[in-house]
Amino acid sequence: MIQSATNIKRPDKEQLKVVNRKVNQLNIPDSPLPRVVIIGAGFGGINLVKKLKNKPFQVVLINKTNYHLFQPLMYQVATAGLEASSIAFPVRGIFAHKKDFYFRLAEVQEVNSEENYVETNIGNLNYDYLVIGTGSKANYFGNDNFRTHAKGMKTLYQAIGLRNFGLKGLEDTLLLKDSKEKQVALNIVIAGGGPTGVELAGALAEFKKKIFPKDYPELSPDLMSIHLIEGAPRLLSAMSNKASESTLKHLKKMGVKVKLNTLVKDYDGTKVTLADDSVLYSKYFIWSAGVQGNAPCGLPEEGLVRGNRIKVNDFNLMFGSDNIFAIGDVAQIATDRDRPKGHPMLAQVAIQQGQLLAENLQRIENKQKPQAFKYWDKGSMATIGKNKAVVDIGNIHLTGFVAWLIWIFVHLAFLMGFRNKVIVFFNWIYNYITFDRATRILLKRQ
């Protein structure tokens, strides 16, 4: 049975004292302050730490990389529009002067909810409060071929790998003599018509039109085909019909071949088989058709729901727990009747949940009633290419140049670090004026 707000409390320090001595292996100093351990340096985790500044807590952030990644712009790294470092910002740089804050570079392997500690690859650490903000991962719907052969874009390494794979493929195509072999080599198939698939397809279409003819004059741009496959009746199904229709029109005008109401059945590394048994031959198959929660191991079964998300109440408290919280993509508020499938996996949800949880932890420590989470929908947006974007803000639906400007400034505003904002902004200006991509560097493993 889910706890009420008045039942939320941290465990008794005296009861945990013996356990704490055994599991504090990450060299975190003992403190009389309650320890908040946060897993994940995504939008939720970062904003939670920021809001806990100058609050009476010892905060420990654990993440498997030492940077916060601005995922909405990863597709630009994959298509040589931005350098990787411009969308990543070091965690220690964000919180350089924060007191009672500790960062550890580690991977959490399991959560021991009974004894209140986490197991990591570098040791174990006890907590008074645990906050899980581990985001999402690709969902291949049980198809191991997709997992093995498809190209993903959930991590910075994958985005750089996608760029390398594409550039290397273009170089290899120059060695082919048969035109049909060239077409297969330059056939790009993207599964998933959500924001990631749409933005990636648009960026590749612009690459084909502006960069391809200049860099590869020996090849005809007509040899390159970009296919976008979507299982739903329309693209950007979470946005308005106007946004979907405008996106479809722009992509088709840019030369992207869009297939709706079509599922991808299988992929063996060279052949994409669709649900109607039609086949697309391609060595460049990108999977953006589904995501699932990235919940760590060890959580009780009653705390998980379909899609590997953590079931939480209105206060982001996990079912069956008094001190484990989940925020962002990995969390699903099961008590919201208006959203039975949970909130959308968007940065704004994670940001707002992280900020509210910081306030609620303070309320819990003060034995006050925490505040229930209410999502403020600030809108959705996606860009299709130069001067082309779609924006939904309430009942306002914008397309074209104005929407594109809004998309630019919103993304710059949420990008971490002044340096990164400047670099990205000037990269965009350079690309806009010259129709060029300055980061077309092929990095080969030695």
Dist CA 202 CA 82 (whole Å): 15
Q: What is the per-residue pLDDT for 437? A: 72
Dist CA 173 CA 166 (whole Å): 11
Mean residue pLDDT across the chain:
91
Which of these ranges, 18-22, 25-29, 305-309, 344-348, has the smallest mean pLDDT? 18-22
Dist CA 175 CA 241 (whole Å): 44
Mean pLDDT, range 81-86, rounded to an integer: 91
| Burial profile 283-312: b = 16 or more Cβ within 10 angstroms, e = fewer | bbbbbbbbbbbbbbeebeeebbbebbbbbb
Name the band, by pLDDT with cuts 50, 70 and 90, for residue 139: very high
pLDDT above 90 for 9: no
User: Which string of DSSP letters, residue by residue, matches 86-132?
Assistant: GGEEEHHHHTTT-TTEEEEE--EEEEETTTTEEEETTEEEE-SEEEE
Cα 67 → chain centroid: 14
Q: What is the DSSP letter of 4?
A: P
pLDDT above 90 for 176: yes
Which residue has better confidence, 418 or 13? 418
pLDDT above 90 for 339: no
Mean pLDDT, range 183-207, rounded to an integer: 95
Amino acid in position 311 = K
298: left (phi over 0), alpha (psi -120 to 50) or beta: left
Q: What is the per-residue pLDDT for 22? A: 55
Mean pLDDT, range 124-146, rounded to an integer: 95
Mean pLDDT, range 42-51, rounded to an integer: 96
Q: What is the per-residue pLDDT for 335? A: 85
Q: What is the per-residue pLDDT for 2? A: 41
Name the band, by pLDDT with cuts 50, 70 and 90, for residue 110: very high
pLDDT above 90 for 12: no
pLDDT above 90 for 312: yes
Strands annotated E in 328-428: 331-333, 380-385, 388-393, 396-399
pLDDT above 50 for 17: no
pLDDT above 50 for 66: yes
pLDDT above 80 for 368: yes
Name the band, by pLDDT with cuts 50, 70 and 90, for residue 321: very high
- Give the model confidence (pLDDT) of 369-395 as tens digits: 999 999 999 999 999 999 999 999 989
pLDDT above 80 for 24: no
Q: What is the per-residue pLDDT for 363? A: 96
Strand (E) or helix (H) holding 432: helix 418-434
| Residues 6 or more apart in contact with residue 5 via CB below 8 angstroms | 315, 369, 370, 372
Which residue has better confidence, 32 or 22? 32
In percent, how much of the chain has pLDDT > 70?
Answer: 94
CA distances from 349 to 79, 306, 332, 406 (A): 27, 19, 11, 19
Mean pLDDT, range 142-155, rounded to an integer: 93
In percent, how much of the chain has pLDDT > 90?
Answer: 81
Which of these ranges, 186-195, 392-401, 424-433, has the smallest mean pLDDT? 424-433
Name the band, by pLDDT with cuts 50, 70 and 90, for residue 11: low
Which residue has better confidence, 302 or 366? 366
pLDDT above 90 for 131: yes
pLDDT above 50 for 18: no
Amino acid in position 376 = W
- Give the model confidence (pLDDT) of 217-233 as tens digits: 999 999 999 999 999 99
Task: Please give the model's pTM, rounded to 2 decimal places.
Answer: 0.91
CA distances from 151 to 148, 158, 289, 428 (A): 9, 8, 12, 26
CA distances from 276 to 145, 234, 248, 261, 287 (A): 18, 18, 22, 10, 19
Instruction: List phi, psi (to 5°) of 43.
Output: -60, -40
